[in-house]
Amino acid sequence: MNRDIKPYSNLQEVRKSKPGEVTNAVKAALEVGYRHLDCAMAYSNEAEVGAGLKAKIDDGTVKREDVFITSKLWNTMHHPDDVAKACQMTLDQLGVTYLDLYLIHWPMAYKRGEVLFPEDENGVMQVDDIEYTDTWLAMEQLVDKGMCKAIGVSNFNLKMIKEIQAINKVPIANHQIELHPWLTQEELVRYCQDNNISVTAYSPLGSPDRPWVKDTDPNLMADPEVMRIAEAKGKSPAQVLIRFALQRGIICIPKSVTPSRIKDNFEALDFELSATDMKDLMALNKDYRGCALEWIKHRHHPFTPLA
């Protein structure tokens, strides 16, 4: 995509899957053995996720308590008065009475309202100045109300994590971050794990299908070292990348709506990478972010804050 074009323009439409595709993917995943569903209001598909979950509960494949469900508070709902409303909307869409984990999706707030990606007449994202610490305190009330069992954050930097810890009464249960061999985030991962904050890796395959990807962007799964290890193990590059996260003690959430790939990804559980493999993959780090959202101008941007 040309950078002169707004990367987030019509992002809701770009992200949408074909009707029924997400429902079928959820059913396929639960049948294979997955028991973690990673959701978000911003994905605009929670009703389909809920339909897939209901189908597998109704046919006896799983019970609600067998499945760990994560969702995320979107940027337009950061105002403390909106947090419970947003969570209830997600519960209603998913058809469940509680979430196992609810995360603040990003630390920067967008303009309040029902438009997920609010732009002005010039196509510039409209933001709000709400403090994420205030949002966090409203998130804590959701645990008290039984709407979710645990809360956490996503896409926060280390300074932001520490600011939450300075005021929280409910612990940060999880931090979801972009993580792969090109972005190993060693200091942040170490801090979280040392402080009993589990880490979830999103985009573990480098997010090759992100809406704003350009033809000239590098492809992690074509990295020569990843391909070499995959060939030596008789595995796919995707399986190697998933295994890389798992062996770091990190939860891994590869994205797919293709049943065959969903099954293949699950097979990352049946092999191990050697210590040398892990060292070689860690050495690939170049602090490359596929999901930097560098076009969003906000003082709470975790990677490129306004001065």
Query: Annotated binding residues, as ranges?
Result: 105
Give the HSE-up count for residue 188: Cα atoms under 13 Å, Cβ half-sphere: 23
Binding site as annotated, residues for substrate = 105
Residue 209 backbone zone (phi > 0: left; psi -120 to 50: alpha; other: beta): alpha
The pair of structure tokens assigned to 3 is 């950078």
The answer to whether the CB of 82 falls within 8 A of the CB of 135 is no
Q: Is 43 a catalytic residue?
A: yes
Alpha-carbon distance 131 to 108, whole Å? 8
The pair of structure tokens assigned to 200 is 């979830």
Alpha-carbon distance 87 to 289, whole Å? 28
The single residue of 8, 34, 43, 102 carrying the catalytic annotation is: 43
The pair of structure tokens assigned to 280 is 């070689």
Which of 227, 194, 212 shows the shortest CA–CA distance to 296? 212
Helices 132-145 and 80-94 sit at what angle, rounded to 10 degrees?
50
Alpha-carbon distance 43 to 64, whole Å? 22
Helix, strand, coil share (%) of the chain residues, nearest 5: 40, 15, 45
Q: How far apart are the first and last CA of the chain?
A: 28
The answer to whether the CB of 149 falls within 8 A of the CB of 98 is yes
Catalytic residue numbers?
43
